[in-house]
Amino acid sequence: MSETKNRNVSDTTSGKKSMKWVFWLLAAKVLFILLLAGLTIWIIYAVRAANTDGNQANHFERVLGAGYSNDGKTLWLGTEKKLLFYKKGIWHAEKLKDDEHATIFLPINSGFIQQNIDSSLHWKKLNQERLISNSVKRDHRVLAVGYATGRLYNLRQSGSSQILLFSDDGGKKWKNKSLDHLTGTVQALAAAPKNKQLLSIGTTNGLYVSEDNGVHFQHYLKGYSVTCVSYGFSKQTSLLAGTAGKETELYQILPDQKKTINLDMGTVESDNLIQIAQNPVKFGEAAMLTKHGDIYLTENGGQNWTILAKKGRALNGR
């Protein structure tokens, strides 16, 4: 009888201990699940926050200038508050290091020229290291520069004629000449990267190309509204020009052969091309920027196109 009681007490005690172990094991499992769920939520939040920050950093509004580094490996854009860089399929952004309000960025072989709202000019490397600075008159808004020559260009309306101003000393002294026989409203100006005699002007009535610094012009794309134009870097003189109208079109102009070639840009529908940047090393590569923030890249002279940005949002990957 005594043995039976002892056995019952032992069984009861053992059962209580087993229940405690089951309880604590269940509590530990619940705690582990809660910790795992919390960690998962934190990771999701952190990733979303990182992606949001990245998207904001690589989001841009009005582009004030674009170009390539002199090794051809980096495409860059300049805006009022930051610079954006595209290299090896990846975008990254950097804030402008000064508090000045930029109005235009122009590509040169050492980096870029930044003109501010006070008309001051600043030559900078792509890392924003300032090389030199200069002040110009407020009506001397620089519209183009020779990538390698460094010659600055400006245009001014005078009655029915356009006055071309150009400077070879960083804007300290300017020479000018009257440009006659141009029709339409001027919308774009481009200078050849290495030859000071070559310049082109896009108007609402076509593209005017000069081989003698504005003394004479050849007229291309008559009747078309030319919104942007850019010289290539190959030995043969070549230009890319964007037109607006019922359809947005891109043309290659070969002045030596007096040829106009329509390049297929079916990816651009109702948007207007506003800027063209050509690679100084890879002659078939160029980036097209549209009014509403799209960027298209071709690496084979316009045969194929890659979308780098949509509506001001840079897209990583290729």
234-259: pLDDT as tens digits: 999 999 999 998 888 999 999 999 99
- Tell me the C-alpha to C-alpha distance, in Å, between residue 318 and each of 4, 87, 88: 80, 11, 9
pLDDT score of 52: 39
Q: Is the pLDDT of residue 60 over 60?
A: yes
Q: Is the pLDDT of residue 9 over 80?
A: no
CB neighbours of residue 272 within 10 Å: 17
pLDDT score of 13: 59
Report pLDDT digits (tens) over 263-285.
977 666 678 999 999 999 999 99
Q: How far is Cα 219 from Cα 288, in angstroms, rounded to an integer?
A: 23
pLDDT score of 219: 97
Mean pLDDT of the chain: 86
Tokens of 154: 């400006």
Q: State the average pLDDT over residues 96-107.
A: 87
From 170, 143, 138, select the one nearest 154 (Cα to Cα).
Answer: 143
pLDDT score of 39: 67
Q: State the average pLDDT over residues 102-115.
A: 96
Between residues 58 and 294, the one the model is more confident about: 294
Gyration radius from the chain CA atoms:
31
pLDDT score of 31: 75
Pairing status of strand 239-244 against strand 225-231: antiparallel
**Buried/exposed code over 174-184 (b: 16+ C-beta within 10 A; e: otherwise):** beeeebeebeb
pLDDT score of 264: 79
Report pLDDT digits (tens) over 186-224.
999 999 999 999 999 999 999 999 999 999 999 999 999
pLDDT grade, residue 230 (50/70/90)? Answer: very high
Q: State the average pLDDT over residues 112-132.
A: 94
Between residues 68 and 41, the one the model is more confident about: 68
